[in-house]
Amino acid sequence: METTQRTDQERAADRRRRELLEAADRVVLRDGPGASMNAIAAEAGITKPILYRHFGDKGGLYAALATRHTDALLDSLRAALDAPAERRERVEATLDTYLAAIEARPQVYRFLMHPAEGGQQGEGFDVGKHSAPLLRRMGEELAQVIEERLDLGPGGEQLARVWGHGIVGMMHAAGDWWLGERPCSRAELVRSLADLLWGRLAAAGDKVGSPGF
């Protein structure tokens, strides 16, 4: 009986946490980096101390939102990488998936990557402490896909990690610049980045038994 009760309590807590994250998402979509704990608490219809009880501080809330959005982005990137198409098409689709995601929700992107723009540092928030692990996680995920699918020869695992983190760094830096300045269309940026990547990636063979890359 206690186990069932505890499980019900845990489910209720998880549901409440999701509701609070959805409220936070609405505020972030509206306010971007300027989203504050006060505004999020008001949107959720609770007091700020209750919000702190669930997430600790703005850093804790940021980490929860980052995980939520990174999980969704990684799922989309994996789908693009595994789509039945030629390798060059999948490379372009993967780049486009990332760029389309940040273009569709620029306020969320700025909240995650440029929260200092909102002047909310007084809420105990450290940008580098939280944003850098997001890029590292994406780099490791991409490295795993590359290592599983491509025959890179001796030292392939290390090379896959170099490529994974390098590609993510390139997508992040180029996407950040493009989102701010819009110097070209998304399609033009995708083609240009794919051209940059294409040399050794085009020459590598698929691993035997892998779904390919």
Number of domains in the chain: 1
Examine residue 22 and state whether it is found in any structural domain, yes or no.
yes
204 or 61: which leads in pLDDT: 61
Lowest mean pLDDT among 62-76, 147-161, 197-211: 197-211
Tell me the residue type at 121: Q
Tell me how far apart the alpha carbons of residues 142 and 104 are, in angstroms, rounded to a whole number.
22
Full-model pTM: 0.81
CATH code assigned at 127:
1.10.357.10
Domain-embedded: residue 52: yes
Query: Is residue 163 domain-resident?
Result: yes
What is the spatial distance between Cα 211 and Cα 124, in angstroms, rounded to a whole number?
Answer: 45
Kindly report, residue by residue over 95-148, the tens digit of the pLDDT: 999 999 999 999 989 888 886 665 554 454 555 566 678 889 899 999 998 888
Q: Which residues is 205 bridged to in the sheet? A: 151
Report whether pLDDT(51) > 60. Answer: yes
- Alpha-carbon span 93 to 87, nearest angstrom: 10
Residue 151 main-chain phi, psi, to 5 deg = -90, 100
pLDDT, average across residues 81-103: 91
Residue in the block written with tokens 């240009």? 192
Residue 142 lies in a domain: yes
Instruction: Answer for the pair 28, 114: CB distance below 8 angstroms, yes or no.
Output: no
Residue 184: band (very low, low, confident or very high) from pLDDT cuts 50, 70, 90: very high
Tens digit of each residue's pLDDT (9 = 90 or more) over 164-181: 999 999 999 999 999 999
Q: What is the pLDDT of residue 209?
A: 62
77: left (phi over 0), alpha (psi -120 to 50) or beta: alpha
Q: How far, in whole angstroms, is CA 107 from its chain's centroid? A: 14
Q: Is residue 210 part of a domain?
A: no
Whether residue 212 lies inside any domain: the answer is no
Distance CA 36, CA 103 (A): 23
Residue 211 falls within a domain, yes or no?
no
pLDDT band at 1 (very low <50, low <70, confident <90, very high): very low
Query: Rounded CA gap, 193 and 12, in Å?
Result: 45
Strand (E) or helix (H) holding 205: strand 205-206
138 belongs to a structural domain: yes
In the predicted model, what is the mean pLDDT of the chain?
85
- Of residues 125 and 201, more confidently modeled: 201
Range(s) of the domain holding residue 87:
2-205
